[in-house]
Amino acid sequence: MIKFLDLQKINLVHQEEIEKRILDTFRSGWYLLGNEAKNFEDNLANYIGAKHAIGVANGLDALRLILRAYIELGIMQKGDEIIVPANTYIASVLAISDNGLVPVLVEPDNNTFNIDSAKIEEKITPKTKGIMIVHLYGRVIFSQELKNLAEKYQLKTIEDNAQAIGAQYEGVNTGNLGDASGFSFYPGKNLGALGDAGAVTTNDEELAKTIRALANYGSNQKYVNTFQGLNSRLDEIQAAALDVKLKYIDAENQRRKDIARRYISEIKNPDIILPELPKDEKEHVWHLFVIRTQEREKLQNFFTENGVQTLIHYPIPPHKQGAYQEMNHLSFPITEKIHDEVLSLPISPVMTDEDVSHIIGIINKI
Ligand SMILES: Cc1ncc(COP(=O)(O)O)c(C=O)c1O
């Protein structure tokens, strides 16, 4: 059986190093707000090229905390609007509504699956304070046009970089393209922890300080609370494991790129739409390899019968979820069609060439 993502295999590649660092952490007796988190934050900031990195408990919190910090700093207030892609994982939208901000959804580009920059301006109102861009499936969404728009309307650009660590746009890493960026280190992400973990990167010192305090009960100094904060910290054990894996992220992303290139050149099936290979291969780290077909159920069943696990990212768009009844009446036809047609094929740094050939063989046969 070819698993969708073999997490055991992915982590066992680094077994010796990870076990040593975790054991050292265990024996140190220091489990929170210590050297491991500090060290990982420094290395992450350095890798991204950003001035600050703040470890937090998960990716949703990373995004929630960025927006909450903008509210605490008086840059945003409850009721303000944030532009966000309609075609995203619901966490991007949750981070906005959780802060009493209003998510304003924008349709994606049909080829890249990412927000259609040409459709943003018509959604901007005097209440718009930010754009949350989501580098969905690992593909960068950024352009001069987007940058100009944010400048013209004085909007904060927040990156949801949960899926695209290691991707670059014109030499700049995702996580350093906007004003602040949220990362998820959920185990299945390209840089995955051994449980929940996340981070924020930014070049804005004031914002970084505010987020660090907010994630620690609103305090930068023990027992002195400046904000009504929460508890959302990256623990030492997760930081230790992540710090080991960060060293290998570029090599692991490269393997994903090689597999994606093979899929794109060798899959030949007229009923399947393949994802687009960006002109600059640095713009995609292939967190997910997502194909489209009107025969999704049939194809997924055929894969299952042939021992290949596939998944759907995602079956129901945020605006059609029970959680957002106030948006259920909205119509986003491109988003809805994508959700009806997408199927994710296995892609990971530990897949063998034979695994890839097997999958290509199946898809070319149906
Ligand atoms: C696009 C996107 N945003 C946000 C998140 C939330 O991250 P987490 O699961 O770490 O809370 C995820 C992953 O689950 C994601 O894929």
Ligand 1 centroid–CA 89 distance in Å is 7
Nearest atom in ligand 1 to the alpha carbon of residue 196 is 10
The pLDDT assigned to 366 comes to 87
Q: How far is the CA of 333 from the centre of ligand 1 (A)?
A: 24
CA of 53 to the centre of ligand 1 (A): 17
Token reading at 73: 């700093």
Which ligand 1 atom sits nearest the alpha carbon of residue 186? 10
Residue nearest to atom 4 of ligand 1 (CA): 91
Low-confidence ranges of the chain (pLDDT < 70): none
Six-digit token pair at 48? 């991204």
Residue 59 CA to ligand 1 centre (angstroms): 5
Q: Give the phi and the psi of residue 221 in degrees, each rounded to 5.
A: -140, 130
Ligand 1 centre and the CA of 77: distance in Å?
Answer: 24
Query: Which pLDDT belongs to residue 159?
Result: 98
Pull the structure tokens for residue 114: 């990412």
Nearest CA to ligand 1 atom 12: 162
Q: Which residues line ligand 1 (CB under 6 A)?
A: 58-60, 88-89, 91-92, 134, 160, 162-163, 184, 186, 196, 198
Compute the distance between CA of residue 153 and CA of residue 132 in angstroms, rounded to an integer.
14
**CA-proximal residue: ligand 1, atom 8 (nearest):** 59
Task: Compute the distance from residue 364 Cα to the ligand 1 centre, in Å.
Answer: 32
Take atom 15 of ligand 1 and give the residue whose Cα is closest: 162
CA dihedral sign, ordered 223, 225, 228, 232? negative
- Whole-prediction pTM: 0.98
Count the neighbouring beta carbons within 10 Å of the beta carbon of residue 146: 19
**Quick one: three-class SS letters along the chain?**
CECCCCHHHHHHCCHHHHHHHHHHHHHHCCCECCHHHHHHHHHHHHHHCCCEEEEECCHHHHHHHHHHHHHHCCCCCCCCEEEEECCCCHHHHHHHHCCCCEEEEECECCCCCCECHHHCHHHCCCCEEEEEEECHHHECCCCHHHHHHHHHCCCEEEEECCCCCCCEECCEECCCCCCEEEEECCCCCCCCCCCCCEEEEECCHHHHHHHHHHCECCEEECCEECCCCCECCCEHHHHHHHHHHHCCHHHHHHHHHHHHHHHHHHCCCCCCECCCCCCCHHHECCCCEEEECCCHHHHHHHHHHCCECCECCCCCCHHHCHHHHHHCCCCCHHHHHHHHHEEEECCCCCCCHHHHHHHHHHHHHC
Cα 354 to Cα 148, 202, 359, 361: the distances in Å are 46, 41, 9, 10
Cis peptide before 137 (omega within 30 of 0): no
Q: What's the CA-to-centroid distance between 366 and ligand 1, angstroms?
A: 33
Could you identify the atom of ligand 1 that is nearest to the CA of residue 91?
4
